[in-house]
């Protein structure tokens, strides 16, 4: 296990709703990244936070937003959910060398 | 932009067979290259990595060599086990200035039969 935890494990939401996903980083890691993995595809980079500031963003609209807290835990917020947002959302915390992924949150939008 | 292409699966093998999963990349500069493995219902685990040309990453019997001339990072294992059944992802990180953003390939599902 990597020491990175995510909650909840599974979530079902309705189109148009808002969702918050949470991630606890591995101890001592000050950088967290979020990825979206659609079924049967590779993960896509959403954004990264370093010391509570967004520090890089992928090709995702502004309704995807995040926060990083002083203890380096993190949230991913998605507003106005769309059916295509259904995916596994992965959080990864990193030291200077590599990224450690959590088990993911499976989001289903109906 | 940066991209990673890997062979489509599924790849079905018998136990003790030789496994190769092809991976090629497009990137500017000198990226670092990775192989991740995802077991059913789990997140990604780093399998091996290489940070510069001609480096060989290895772990758990898997190997991959960073070939800059062919922009490739093919994964190999000489004798697979049923427990190697998983989805394998090739990925690159452009350079240190790009932070930790990883670009992944589409994944290759491997099924090893006893």
Interface test with A, best of B3, B8, B96, B102 (most A CBs within 10 A): B102
* pLDDT average, residue stretch A73-99: 92
Q: Is A84 helix (H, G, I), strand (E, B) or coil?
A: helix
Is pLDDT above 90 for B95? no
Q: Does the beta-carbon distance from A48 to B101 stay under 8 Å?
A: yes
CA distances from A82 to A16, A22, A44, A60, A108 (A): 6, 20, 17, 13, 10
What pLDDT score was predicted for residue A58? 92
The Cα–Cα gap between A52 and A99 comes to 17
pLDDT in the model for residue A19 = 98
> What is the C-alpha separation between B31 and B25, in angstroms, rounded?
9
> Tell me, what DSSP letter sits at residue B100?
T
Name the CA radius of gyration of chain A, rounded: 13
| Contact check, Cβ <8 Å, B43/A90 | yes
Q: Is it true that the peptide bond before B99 is cis, omega within 30 degrees of 0?
A: no
Tokens of B38: 């995802």
Q: Per-residue pLDDT averaged across A51-80, rounded?
A: 93
- Are B100 and A33 in contact (CB < 8 Å)? yes
- Chain B positions touching A48 (Cβ under 8 A) are 99-101
Q: How far apart are CA A84 and CA A110, in angstroms?
A: 10
Query: Which letter does DSSP use for residue B58 in this model?
Result: E
Cα separation, A18 vs A99, in Å, equals: 28
> Tokens at residue B49, please?
């990595």
- Residue A99 is predicted with a pLDDT of 86
Q: What is the pLDDT of residues B23-36, one digit of tens each?
A: 999 998 889 999 99
Distance linking the first and last C-alpha atoms of chain A:
32
Q: Of A54-58, B67-71, B105-109, which gets the smallest average pLDDT?
A: A54-58
What pLDDT score was predicted for residue B101? 87
Tell me, yes or no, if B43 comes closer than 8 A to chain A by beta carbon: yes
Q: Give contacts of B91 with chain A, Cβ < 8 Å.
A: 42
Report d(CA B5, CA B92) in Å as an integer.
11
Give the C-alpha separation, A84 to A66, whole Å.
Answer: 19
* Residues of B in Cβ contact (< 8 Å) with A32: none
Contact flag A99-B46 (C-beta cutoff 8 Å): yes
Output the average pLDDT for chain B.
Answer: 93
pLDDT in tens, B57-72: 999 999 999 999 999 9
Count Cβ–Cβ pairs < 8 Å, chain A vs chain B.
58
- B38 pairs with which residues across the strands? B44, B87
Chain A CB within 8 Å of residue B49 CB: yes
How confident is the model at residue A1, as a pLDDT?
A: 59
pLDDT at B68: 93
Q: How far apart are CA B18 and CA B9, in angstroms?
A: 15
B43 and A98: CB-CB below 8 Å?
no
- Going by pLDDT thresholds of 50, 70 and 90, the confidence category of residue A26 is confident
Please name which of A110, A94, A102 lies closest in space to residue A7, comparing C-alpha atoms: A102
Task: Determine whether the interchain pair A55/B99 forms a contact, defined as Cβ–Cβ distance below 8 Å.
Answer: yes
Mean pLDDT of chain A: 92
Cβ of A41 and B105 within 8 Å?
no
Q: If you average pLDDT over residues B62-88, what whole number do you get?
A: 96
Residue A99 with chain B: CB contacts under 8 Å: 46, 100, 102
């Amino acid at each position: 296990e990597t020491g990175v935890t995510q909650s909840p494990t599974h979530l079902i939401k309705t189109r148009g709703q808002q969702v918050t996903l949470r991630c606890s980083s591995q101890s001592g890691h000050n950088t967290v990244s979020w990825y979206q993995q659609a079924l049967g595809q590779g993960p896509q980079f959403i954004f990264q936070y370093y010391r509570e500031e967004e520090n890089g963003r992928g090709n995702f609209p502004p309704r995807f937003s995040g926060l990083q807290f002083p203890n380096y835990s993190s949230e991913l917020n998605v507003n106005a959910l769309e059916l295509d947002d259904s995916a596994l959302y992965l959080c990864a915390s990193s030291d200077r060398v590599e990224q450690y992924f959590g088990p993911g949150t499976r989001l289903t939008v109906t | 932009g940066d991209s990673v292409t890997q062979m489509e699966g599924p790849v079905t093998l018998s136990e003790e067979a030789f496994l190769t999963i092809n991976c090629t990349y497009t990137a500017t500069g000198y990226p670092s290259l990775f192989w991740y493995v995802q077991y059913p219902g789990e997140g990604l685990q780093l399998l091996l990595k290489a940070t510069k040309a001609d480096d060989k990453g290895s772990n758990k019997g898997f190997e991959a060599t960073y070939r800059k001339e062919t922009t490739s990072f093919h994964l190999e294992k000489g004798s697979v086990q049923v427990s190697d059944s998983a989805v394998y992802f090739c990925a690159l990180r452009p350079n240190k200035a790009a932070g930790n953003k990883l670009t992944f390939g589409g994944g290759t599902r491997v099924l090893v039969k006893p």
